[in-house]
Chains A and B, each alone.
Chain A
Amino acid sequence: MVLTTLELSHVTFPGSNRQYHARFKAGQVAVIYGETPSVRYRALQVVSGQLLPEHGLVTLNGQILNEMPVDKRVEITRSQYGFMYGNDLLLDYLTAVENCLIPEQNITGITIERTKILLRSLGINKPELLFPDQLSSLHRKLVSLARCLRLRPSILLAFEPSAGLSDEETASLYSTFRTTAMDRELIILATEAAVDPGLTHLNLITLGIEGDNEQSGKEELK
């Protein structure tokens, strides 16, 4: 089975004038930090093929996204990428299970049971009975994560996922990201304003974006 790889070759993100070079493999969690939220959001859009970088190439499993026609890129974005946001995007009138089932076009008994199992595995008990206002901030993020995972993405892009979480909850969330990335062999790319020191033990890959300055060149990933 071919594991997913995502490569950035001399990529310049909109709002930044530096070039970035990075390679992500299935099972890895990376954090893009720095600059403004809009710059970080556009970085995710470049990585997912929704936006073309100002310079450089974005390669997914050996295919260069920049050189594909728009409809092909759209198809890949929709089939390979999942999106998770700081705003949980949970509907307050639906239970945790029902919120997870929103992407489903055909809901069957088996679908519902699988969703319950997935949520329980993430630490949410009785998800079929709980509404968002009965869940902790962390559990709401996990429901949001579970909803993304329903579509089996190869790459999960998380925009400011720790918004509204305490340091302890943020560490717990990223720990779950690591476990999920390894179990499901997917790449998780998140953005944050800054990388919390409490996350260093998780061995996350970090990529700092810098804005307008006179220096340019490659930045190797650590």
Chain B
Amino acid sequence: MNQTFGAYIGRRWQRVAAAAGLIGLAFTAVFLFSLLLTANPATQAQLEVRSTRWVKVAGRIAVSELEAAVPGVDIRVIPATVSYLRYPLLWGRSALLPVYGMSEEDARHLLKLADSTLRAERTLPGPGGVYVPPMFLRSLNLHVGSEVESPDSLQRSYQYRVEGIIEGEVPYALTSTETVASMPAQEQVLLVYSPALNTAELEAALEQAFASSSDVRITGPGYYGQLHRERMREHTLLLTVTLALVFMGLFLGHWIIWGRDRSLLAVEQVLAKLYYHALWQSLFRPVAVSLSAGLAGYGGGLLLSLVTALGIGHFWLLPRGISYQIPWPAVLVSLILILAPVMANLLHWAQARKLDQIEFLRQAQEFKKAEVDHEVVRSSPHVSSGLQG
């Protein structure tokens, strides 16, 4: 009986295709939902890549105090004044892009540290001018020369002009100390890095050195990592609820699709007991068929999802300065959707067992036949008159 599932798939391919299609669509929906849900955290993580290059130290502290706090550690410091530009995300949310105001020498230092390429005439823009990363231009549909009026958190507007582009892996904005002074919510910070330590180690050393000080705030990869995990917690919860709902919907859909096989399952059960003396032999065909449909649907859905994701990313997200990442954890967890048709079939199989066997064996099987198309019969010259009308 293990050989019958191939014949079933070959001859009932429409039913199997419908089952696979349902899974493919469900998987695609979950995939794209997860993709769009993680677009904001992905963009924020991209904006926070700077933490891999330097640690921000804010508060009442001088450079000499900083160097004295971590003796034996070779640290380099870039003093700056930082404000933030509002960076629009999806679903009405926004992130913050740091704009550093500093001297020309410090700006050259920072550009080298971040491996950035500056596309502008001067190291620093003129009064009221800002250099921004390309993704920021896309997010607000700006270009070099654009004048921007932006509200701060108190709805007071401030203006700036885009005068150049900072290209590179690390997104940040640059301006002069005079311009940043006119921006809201600025603070004095020290951008700290070490040739000997990576930023995670440096962050840990600084946190240890200033553990008892409430005036100093250390912001590095550990901080942003924790922030990212909290943002993803919301995604995880929503994904779990979505998967549960999709699974129930899939189960119901497959319950309907495979419900037509209930009498077939009863026949197979009797044949398994009769010729193989083991009821479980009748499980192979329905489980194999539903697993095949599940895997085909999953594979097809994955292909469709990847193509759609690339399209959405290329034509919609990236042009808006929104980063995205393929939600591989959702892809893995969604494997559970393959179980929906299997469970539906198993439940049908269990219910087929409850038939009154004696009555079932006694009854003649009803096979559906195609209904006669009377129009064809009437109009066909080959049909004898006795069959017409």
List of A residues within 8 angstroms of B359 by Cβ: 37
Interface size of B as a range = 20 to 34
In the complex, B154 has a CB within 8 A of chain A: no
CB–CB A133/B368 < 8 A = yes
CB–CB A163/B4 < 8 A = no
Q: In the complex, which residues 4-23 of chain B have their Cβ closer than 8 Å to any Cβ of chain A?
A: 4, 7-8, 11-12
Chain B proximity of A39: nearest CB distance (Å): 10
List of A residues within 8 angstroms of B367 by Cβ: 92, 132-133, 140
List of B residues within 8 angstroms of A41 by Cβ: 358, 361
A41, B358: Cα distance in complex, Å = 7
Convert A60-84 into 0s and 1s, putting 1 for each residue whose CB lies closer than 8 angstroms to a CB of B.
0000000000000000001000010
List of B residues within 8 angstroms of A83 by Cβ: 274
CB–CB A93/B267 < 8 A = no
In the complex, B277 has a CB within 8 A of chain A: yes
A193, B53: Cα distance in complex, Å = 90
In the complex, A7 has a CB within 8 A of chain B: no
> Known interface pairs A93-B8, A94-B4. Does A87 touch B360 (Cβ–Cβ under 8 Å)?
yes
Q: Which of B11, B267, B362 contacts A90 (CB 8 A)?
A: B267
CB–CB B362/A93 < 8 A = no
In chain A, what residue has the closest Cβ to B368? A133
A179, B7: Cα distance in complex, Å = 33
In chain B, what residue has the closest Cβ to A41? B358
A87, B361: Cα distance in complex, Å = 5
CB–CB B364/A137 < 8 A = yes
Q: Which of B8, B11, B275, B363 contacts A87 (CB 8 A)?
A: B363
In the complex, A164 has a CB within 8 A of chain B: yes
Chain A proximity of B263: nearest CB distance (Å): 9
A87, B358: Cα distance in complex, Å = 10
CB–CB B364/A102 < 8 A = no
A83, B275: Cα distance in complex, Å = 10
In the complex, B68 has a CB within 8 A of chain A: no
CB–CB B365/A132 < 8 A = yes
In the complex, B25 has a CB within 8 A of chain A: no
In chain B, what residue has the closest Cβ to A82? B274
> Known interface pairs A102-B275, A133-B367, A133-B369. Does A86 touch B264 (Cβ–Cβ under 8 Å)?
no
CB–CB A87/B264 < 8 A = no
List of B residues within 8 angstroms of A102 by Cβ: 1, 4, 271, 275
Chain B proximity of A12: nearest CB distance (Å): 20
CB–CB B264/A91 < 8 A = yes
CB–CB B364/A88 < 8 A = yes
A159, B359: Cα distance in complex, Å = 11
> Known interface pairs A91-B267, A133-B369. Does A86 touch B277 (Cβ–Cβ under 8 Å)?
no
A133, B371: Cα distance in complex, Å = 12
Q: Which of A89, A133, A165 contacts B267 (CB 8 A)?
A: A89
Convert B256-298 into 0s and 1s, putting 1 for each residue whose CB lies closer than 8 angstroms to a CB of A.
0000000010011011001101000000000000000000000
Chain B proximity of A193: nearest CB distance (Å): 9
A-B contact sample (13 more), CB < 8 A, given A37-B358, A87-B365, A165-B364: A37-B362, A83-B274, A85-B361, A85-B362, A86-B364, A87-B267, A87-B270, A92-B264, A93-B4, A93-B264, A98-B7, A133-B369, A160-B362
Chain A residues in the interface with B (C-beta under 8 A): 37-38, 41, 78, 83, 85-94, 98, 102-103, 107, 132-133, 137, 140, 151, 159-160, 163-165
| 22 contacting pairs across A/B (C-beta < 8 A) | A37-B358, A37-B359, A86-B362, A86-B363, A86-B364, A87-B270, A87-B365, A89-B267, A89-B271, A90-B267, A92-B264, A93-B11, A93-B12, A93-B264, A102-B1, A102-B4, A102-B271, A133-B367, A133-B369, A137-B364, A160-B362, A163-B362
Chain B residues in the interface with A (C-beta under 8 A): 1, 3-4, 7-8, 11-12, 264, 267-268, 270-271, 274-275, 277, 358-365, 367-369
